[in-house]
Amino acid sequence: MSEDNSSLGTNLLLFLVGAAAGAILVALTTPKSGPELRSDVKDLAGRLKLKMQKAKLAVCPECGEASETENEDTGA
């Protein structure tokens, strides 16, 4: 059973990395001005960060609790 969870987590991570790479490629190949492109990439990075955090909690709920505690301890 643990092999299935590990495989699922790995597949999910690979899928998200591929989706992020595709989104970045599309963002960089569309004709936009510099400030507009930087803004789009910043927004994309923020959305990707949130999705990765949600995926992390879905795969390993205990990991999210530990990182929240660590952030409180460090004052971050």
- Asked if 23 and 45 count as a contact pair (C-beta separation under 8 A), the reply is no
What pLDDT does residue 1 have? 42
Better-scored residue on pLDDT, 34 or 65: 34
What pLDDT does residue 68 have? 52
What pLDDT does residue 64 have? 63
The pLDDT tens digits of the residues spanning 25-36 come to 887 787 878 888
What b/e sequence results for 15-24 when a residue is b if at least 16 CB atoms lie within 10 Å of its CB, and e otherwise? eeeeebeebe
Better-scored residue on pLDDT, 63 or 11: 11
Q: What is the pTM of this model?
A: 0.46
| Domain locations along the chain | 2-74
